[in-house]
């Protein structure tokens, strides 16, 4: 465990200078070289000289309001504020003199006249104001105390995670600036003037305001005015552990600030790390605040078994549970064959945990029946980018977006699903980059404070490939393509140019398919193609389609055709869903690929693992998750080990999934909670939360981050150890001393991870693969001088309409997504106070569609497809285009995947979650929906709503 005594991250006062030249400055006799543009305040801090400050902090641009940071500069009259004064070459600065001390004391006294005198009664232990008063030598205030209006403004406890005490506010504006500059929400203002000024969340309380609870303002506040409630309850932390968020694929780095030791360890707060490569000190509400599920009473801490799923669970020892798993799997293989069992790894688990699951399956089970939840989200990304570029990952680091001139965002909603990246993107957009959004739904980024998309292309669900081909068609036929790049870097150039120039791909030809007016599509295509740097970011709105893989290749084509690959500010970038979905794919979780995306049929690659693992490996790819279900129903697949994946809630066509699980003899679920899948399991093995894990996660930008345990596994065992014990009980010796040793094996056997080790990660902070001898510190930008596959492959991406069409019976198209405060199937966030914001899944429906059906906001409606139905509340919203409805799948009670079908991507079987033909009707007064009543009357055999 890497723990340290509590020391806050240093605050250097202002952001780092961005100049390419350096200047030399002398501060109190110490000389320091800094980039041009660096403030005197920061240069002093870098020289080890601490200049008093209040309104400045290194995450925000200098503001210059408090006058606490005054210094003297040789040759300059007066005492300039060091935070707003840029360094110049040979500048000589003095930060300590009698005159400066007198001025600072005066400033501090004025602040204290407006501030409550009762420091001892204040909640926050690390108040900068209090510390500064001591530093500048103000023991008491000579002036009469004043009582500004804010001292009588009500204490605001509306937010579940932090409180606002206006009385303690010094109106430094750090919170207001953090909300704007860092988060990009602009929820806060300073209301009133002079002594009457007060921070206001838009004239209401925080909970009712535009605030998205990212916590940036709390982190920025130098007093106790904005404080985490956990700090008020528990007091200040005593030590910190550096780790990584376990929610989304942004992969934010955090300091888990804690109290206590061993099993008594309590998390006081999660503070995003300024040195975090993905987040640079920012976070969202999930990572910063929604960690309470780790100690939720629902958490299962003991192994449990039962003979039949109708039986009660019986708590047993680890040994008994593992023996039952091993003997059950062994018996199944003896009776039904080697291939009758398999395993499913989790993108919520570490690379090391995932690696041993695929090892258990390949070497212990003796087959390749291993798959992962990426099957249902980004498997088309892996396939499409491998085909075109040669590697199954995004091309850029997140910071690259700062150099983009045009951002094409397709099928992604970053402000809800990847919030910290959204804040980065919004910063770039506020600085002038142009935005094109291709999404049926009117997502927040289309119009938010100081951000307005140049184009919103509200395409029909299921028509992505027609759209992207039309974009490339315009680039090619209007001469906006990069001929030199194509000839030098790509193959199938002539074939692709002839294909895409065909008039069938023109915006006019596809207008009736995509629903995008041809002139608008042409303008958007010109904007993208003519940009200096154009970058594509995309999400599950691209992959979760019957042509998900084709669309990924179509985007790669567009980027190559316009030369937007291989430098900063460009590229094709998947916004990955789960925290370690990139890593779970990297670690060989697919049935056809060993770690590093090397095909199982390769004798040379198999030989590496056969030598390491001491078993002969099957050269044939195993079953994918949908094949496992089908085989289970056919009676040939009888047992499965499921680590950290709630298939019965997250996978499409829930009835089919449940039937498949019921058909098996042994379902083993390893998870934190008794989830929906565990209802159908015979063995439950309790898992560990991220606060107990030791290992690594790999985020959407290929960044490998360390995950460090804050406390020991609460259920007594590391998850990789559980997997190893199952292997051993089945007669396959699988031993590792610790997680570091597993990573050493990954590095020794996987070329792209060659330079990765826990020691290297501790030294570097994080590394983006490939980490090789040629790139020992990692690779932020891929395909710089050539593609991984040699030449980039232009694939002729033929548009094939999905077979899932709306018709008279199911006239609407359902598309699904996420909200900010809940996460995936909600098993973690539903067990936190995040429920304050989102208590149930809601169906969004366009006003015209709602009116036609007599639906008003708040009505209970039935959502019905050809495979199932469910009931949920409606929200009538013009965010939706006519004919398209939208919901989330965070709540098992709704079980939105009851209605999604088994249509899937042709290449990867990724489900077509984004296109389901549905009907919506008002639930009637008897609690029976109109459709149910209609069915009852017609005697039709529909699936019953859950």
Nearer to ligand FES, 68 or 794 (CB): 68
Collapse the DSSP code of 584 into the 3-class scheme (helix H, G, I; strand E, B; otherwise coil) and give the result.
helix
Angle, CA of 38, 44 and 49, to the nearest 5°: 165
Nearer to ligand FES, 83 or 178 (CB): 83
Question: By CB under 6 A, is residue 163 in contact with ligand SF4?
Answer: no
CB of residue 68 vs ligand FES: minimum separation in angstroms?
5
CB of residue 697 vs ligand SF4: minimum separation in angstroms?
9
Question: By CB under 6 A, is residue 170 in contact with ligand FES?
Answer: no
φ and ψ at 308, to 5 degrees?
-130, 150
The Cα–Cα gap between 8 and 675 comes to: 38
910: nearest Cα among 460, 659, 539? 539
Q: Which segment (165-173, 440-448, 499-507, 547-555) binds ligand SF4 by CB under 6 A? A: 165-173
The Cα–Cα gap between 658 and 677 comes to: 8
CB of residue 818 vs ligand SF4: minimum separation in angstroms?
11
Q: Which segment (308-316, 417-425, 484-492, 766-774) binds ligand SF4 by CB under 6 A? A: 417-425
The Cα–Cα gap between 230 and 569 comes to: 39
Give the helix, strand, coil percentages of the chain, each rounded to 5.
35, 20, 45
Q: Say which entry of ligand SF4, ligand FES, none residue 247 contacts (CB below 5 to 8 A, set by partner kind).
A: ligand SF4
* Greatest Cα pair distance in the chain: 93
φ and ψ at 662, to 5 degrees?
-65, -25
Q: Say which entry of ligand SF4, ligand FES, none residue 220 contacts (CB below 5 to 8 A, set by partner kind).
A: ligand SF4
Would you tell me the crossing angle of helices 518-530 and 507-514 to the nearest 10 degrees? 120
Q: Say which entry of ligand SF4, ligand FES, none residue 81 contacts (CB below 5 to 8 A, set by partner kind).
A: ligand FES
Alpha helices (runs of H) in 531-644, residue ranges in sequence order: 540-543, 548-561, 581-586, 603-613, 625-634
Question: By CB under 6 A, is residue 64 in contact with ligand FES?
Answer: yes
Nearer to ligand FES, 84 or 670 (CB): 84
Question: By CB under 6 A, is residue 826 in contact with ligand SF4?
Answer: no
Burial class (CB in 10 A: 0-12, 13-18, 19+), 263: exposed
CB of residue 57 vs ligand FES: minimum separation in angstroms?
9
CB of residue 440 vs ligand SF4: minimum separation in angstroms?
24
Q: Say which entry of ligand SF4, ligand FES, none residue 648 contacts (CB below 5 to 8 A, set by partner kind).
A: none
Q: Measure the CA dihedral 219/223/229/230, to 10°.
A: 70
Q: Which segment (66-74, 265-273, 553-561, 637-645) binds ligand FES by CB under 6 A? A: 66-74
Nearer to ligand FES, 102 or 936 (CB): 102
Nearer to ligand SF4, 79 or 279 (CB): 279
38: tokens are 């660096």
Nearer to ligand SF4, 220 or 734 (CB): 220
Return the residue matching tokens 């669309």.
Answer: 551
Return the residue matching tokens 């970058």.
Answer: 535
Q: Say which entry of ligand FES, ligand SF4, none residue 850 contacts (CB below 5 to 8 A, set by partner kind).
A: none
How do strand 593-594 and strand 598-599 relate by DSSP bridges? antiparallel
Question: Contacts with ligand SF4 in 199-238 (CB under 6 A)?
Answer: 199, 201, 211-217, 220-223, 225-226
Q: Which of 12, 83, 179, 717 binds ligand SF4 (CB under 6 A)?
A: 179
CB of residue 817 vs ligand SF4: minimum separation in angstroms?
15
Question: By CB under 6 A, is residue 248 in contact with ligand SF4?
Answer: yes
The Cα–Cα gap between 374 and 381 comes to: 10
For 882, residues 6+ apart whose C-beta sits below 8 A from its C-beta are 846, 848, 849
Q: Say which entry of ligand SF4, ligand FES, none residue 284 contacts (CB below 5 to 8 A, set by partner kind).
A: ligand SF4
The Cα–Cα gap between 593 and 599 comes to: 4
The Cα–Cα gap between 590 and 342 comes to: 12
CB of residue 134 vs ligand FES: minimum separation in angstroms?
17
Q: Which of 34, 43, 47, 55 binds ligand FES (CB under 6 A)?
A: 55
Question: By CB under 6 A, is residue 69 in contact with ligand FES?
Answer: yes
Nearer to ligand FES, 55 or 529 (CB): 55
Q: Say which entry of ligand FES, ligand SF4, none residue 66 contacts (CB below 5 to 8 A, set by partner kind).
A: ligand FES
Nearer to ligand SF4, 248 or 884 (CB): 248
CB atoms within 10 A of CB 95: 20
Question: By CB under 6 A, is residue 54 in contact with ligand FES?
Answer: yes
Q: What distance, in Å, lies between the first and last C-alpha atoms of the chain?
A: 45
User: Residue 305: beta bridge partners?
Assistant: 314, 683
For 925, residues 6+ apart whose C-beta sits below 8 A from its C-beta are none
Contact 848, 876 (CB under 8 A): no
Question: By CB under 6 A, is residue 53 in contact with ligand FES?
Answer: yes
The Cα–Cα gap between 51 and 68 comes to: 9
Q: Which segment (248-256, 332-340, 515-523, 615-623) binds ligand SF4 by CB under 6 A? A: 248-256
Nearer to ligand SF4, 444 or 849 (CB): 444
CB of residue 225 vs ligand FES: minimum separation in angstroms?
16
Q: Which segment (249-257, 431-439, 475-483, 875-883) binds ligand SF4 by CB under 6 A? A: 249-257
User: Residue 436: beta bridge partners?
Assistant: 408, 455
Contact 56, 173 (CB under 8 A): no
Question: By CB under 6 A, is residue 83 in contact with ligand FES?
Answer: yes
Contact 252, 707 (CB under 8 A): no
Alpha carbon distances (Å) from 103 to 209, 610, 906: 39, 73, 72
Nearer to ligand FES, 52 or 921 (CB): 52
How many residues belong to the site for ligand FES (CB under 6 A)?
A: 12
Q: Which of 24, 30, 67, 306 binds ligand FES (CB under 6 A)?
A: 67
Go through the chain and tell me how many residues it has: 946
How many residues belong to the site for ligand SF4 (CB under 6 A)?
A: 42
**DSSP conformational letter for 248:** B
The Cα–Cα gap between 344 and 664 comes to: 15
Angle, CA of 190, 206 and 442, to the nearest 5°: 100
Question: Taking CB under 6 A as the rule, which mask of x and - marks residues 536-565 in contact with ligand FES?
Answer: ------------------------------
Q: Say which entry of ligand FES, ligand SF4, none residue 356 contacts (CB below 5 to 8 A, set by partner kind).
A: none
Q: Which of 188, 570, 672, 727 binds ligand SF4 (CB under 6 A)?
A: 188
Question: By CB under 6 A, is residue 474 in contact with ligand SF4?
Answer: no
Q: What is the CA radius of gyration of the chain?
A: 29
Q: Which segment (48-56, 305-313, 578-586, 695-703) binds ligand FES by CB under 6 A? A: 48-56
Q: Say which entry of ligand SF4, ligand FES, none residue 384 contacts (CB below 5 to 8 A, set by partner kind).
A: none
Question: By CB under 6 A, is residue 65 in contact with ligand FES?
Answer: yes
Question: Contacts with ligand FES in 137-166 (CB under 6 A)?
Answer: none
Alpha helices (runs of H) in 756-842, residue ranges in sequence order: 758-764
Q: Which of 32, 68, 669, 678 binds ligand FES (CB under 6 A)?
A: 68
Q: How many CA atoms lie within 13 A of 368 on its CB side?
A: 21
Question: By CB under 6 A, is residue 172 in contact with ligand SF4?
Answer: yes
Collapse the DSSP code of 830 into the 3-class scheme (helix H, G, I; strand E, B; otherwise coil) and give the result.
helix
Phi-psi region of 305 (alpha: psi -120 to 50; beta: other; left: phi over 0): beta
Contacting positions for ligand FES (CB under 6 A): 53-56, 64-69, 81, 83
State the residues that interact with ligand SF4 by CB under 6 A. Answer: 169-175, 178-179, 183, 185, 187-188, 199, 201, 211-217, 220-223, 225-226, 245, 247-248, 250-252, 279, 283-284, 286-287, 418-420
């Amino acid at each position: 465990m890497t723990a340290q005594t509590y020391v806050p991250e240093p605050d250097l006062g202002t952001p780092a200078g961005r100049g390419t030249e350096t200047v030399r400055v002398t501060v109190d006799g110490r000389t320091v070289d800094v980039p041009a543009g660096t403030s005197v305040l920061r240069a002093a801090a870098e020289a080890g000289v601490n200049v008093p400050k209040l309104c400045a902090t290194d995450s925000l641009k200098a503001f210059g309001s408090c006058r606490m940071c005054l210094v003297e500069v040789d040759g300059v009259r007066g005492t300039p504020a060091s935070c707003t004064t840029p360094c110049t070459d040979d500048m000589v600065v003095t930060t300590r003199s009698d005159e400066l001390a007198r001025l600072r004391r005066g400033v501090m006294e004025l602040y204290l006249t407006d501030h409550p005198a009762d420091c001892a009664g204040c909640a926050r232990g690390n108040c900068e104001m209090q510390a500064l008063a001591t530093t500048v030598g103000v023991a008491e205030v000579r002036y009469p105390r004043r009582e500004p209006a804010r001292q009588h403004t009500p204490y605001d406890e509306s937010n579940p995670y932090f409180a606002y005490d206006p009385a303690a506010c010094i109106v430094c504006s750090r919170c207001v600036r953090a909300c704007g500059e860092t988060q990009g929400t602009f929820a806060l203002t300073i209301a009133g003037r002079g002594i009457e000024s007060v921070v206001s969340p838009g004239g209401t309380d925080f909970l009712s305001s535009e605030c998205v609870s990212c916590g940036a303002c709390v982190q920025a506040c130098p007093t106790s005015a904005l404080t985490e409630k956990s700090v008020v309850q528990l007091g200040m932390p005593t030590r910190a552990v550096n780790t990584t968020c376990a929610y989304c694929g942004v992969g934010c780095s955090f300091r888990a600030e804690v109290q206590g030791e061993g099993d008594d360890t309590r998390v006081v707060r999660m503070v995003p790390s300024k040195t975090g490569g993905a987040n640079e000190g920012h976070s969202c509400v999930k990572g910063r605040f929604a960690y309470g599920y780790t100690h939720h009473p629902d958490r299962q801490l003991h192994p449990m078994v039962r003979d039949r799923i109708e039986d009660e669970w019986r708590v047993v020892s680890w040994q008994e549970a593992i023996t039952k798993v091993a003997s059950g799997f062994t018996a199944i293989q003896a009776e039904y064959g080697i291939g009758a069992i398999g395993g499913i790894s989790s993108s919520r688990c570490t690379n090391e945990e995932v690696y041993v699951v695929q090892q258990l399956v390949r070497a212990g089970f003796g087959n390749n029946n291993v798959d992962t939840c990426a099957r249902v989200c980004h498997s088309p990304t892996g396939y499409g980018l491998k085909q075109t570029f040669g590697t199954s990952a995004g091309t850029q680091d997140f910071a690259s977006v700062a150099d983009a001139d045009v951002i094409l965002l397709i099928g992604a909603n970053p402000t809800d699903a990847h919030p910290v990246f959204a804040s980065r993107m919004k910063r770039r957009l506020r600085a002038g980059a142009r935005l094109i959004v291709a999404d049926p739904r009117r997502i927040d980024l289309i119009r938010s404070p100081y951000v307005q998309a140049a184009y919103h292309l509200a395409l029909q669900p299921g028509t992505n490939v027609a759209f992207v081909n039309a974009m490339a068609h315009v680039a090619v036929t209007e001469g906006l393509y990069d001929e030199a790049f194509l000839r030098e870097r790509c193959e199938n150039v002539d074939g692709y140019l002839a294909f895409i120039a065909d008039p069938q791909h023109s915006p006019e030809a596809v207008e009736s398919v995509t629903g995008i007016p041809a002139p608008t599509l042409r303008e958007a295509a010109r904007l993208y193609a003519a940009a200096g740097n154009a970058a594509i970011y995309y999400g599950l709105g691209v992959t979760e389609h019957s042509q998900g893989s084709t669309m990924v290749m179509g985007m790669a084509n567009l980027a190559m055709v316009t030369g937007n690959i291989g430098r900063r500010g460009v590229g094709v970038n998947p916004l990955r869903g789960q925290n370690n979905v990139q890593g779970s794919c990297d670690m060989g979780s697919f049935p056809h690929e060993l770690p590093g995306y090397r095909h199982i049929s390769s004798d040379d690659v198999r030989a590496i693992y056969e030598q390491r693992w001491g078993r002969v490996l099957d050269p044939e790819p195993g079953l994918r998750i949908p094949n496992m279900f089908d085989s289970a129903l056919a009676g040939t697949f009888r047992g499965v080990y499921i680590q950290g994946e709630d298939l019965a809630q997250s996978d499409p066509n829930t009835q089919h999934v449940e039937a498949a699980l019921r058909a098996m003899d042994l379902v083993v679920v390893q998870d934190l909670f008794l989830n929906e899948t565990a209802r159908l399991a015979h063995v439950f093995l309790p898992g560990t939360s991220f606060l107990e894990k030791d290992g690594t996660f790999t985020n959407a930008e290929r960044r490998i981050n360390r995950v460090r345990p804050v406390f020991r596994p609460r259920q007594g065992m590391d998850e990789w150890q559980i997997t190893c014990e199952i292997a051993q009980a089945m007669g396959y010796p699988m031993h590792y001393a610790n997680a570091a040793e597993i990573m050493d094996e990954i590095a020794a056997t996987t070329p792209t991870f060659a330079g990765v080790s826990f020691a290297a990660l501790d030294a570097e902070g994080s590394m983006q693969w490939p980490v090789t001898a040629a790139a020992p510190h990692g690779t932020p930008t891929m395909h710089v001088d050539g593609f991984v596959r040699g030449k980039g492959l232009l694939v002729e991406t033929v548009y094939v309409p999905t077979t899932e069409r709306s018709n008279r019976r199911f006239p609407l198209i359902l598309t699904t997504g996420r909200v900010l405060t809940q996460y995936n199937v909600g098993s973690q966030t539903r067990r936190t106070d995040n429920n304050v914001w989102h208590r149930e899944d809601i169906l969004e429906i366009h006003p015209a569609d709602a009116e036609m059906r007599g639906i008003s906001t708040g009505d209970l409606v039935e959502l019905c497809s050809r495979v199932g139905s469910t009931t949920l509340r409606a929200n009538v919203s013009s965010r939706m285009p006519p004919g398209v409805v939208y919901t989330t799948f965070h709540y098992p009670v709704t079980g939105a995947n009851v209605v999604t079908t088994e249509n899937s991507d042709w290449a990867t079987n990724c489900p077509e979650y984004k296109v389901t033909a549905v009907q919506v009707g008002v639930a009637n007064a008897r609690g029976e929906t109109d459709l149910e009543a209609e069915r009852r009357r017609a005697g039709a055999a529909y699936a019953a709503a859950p």
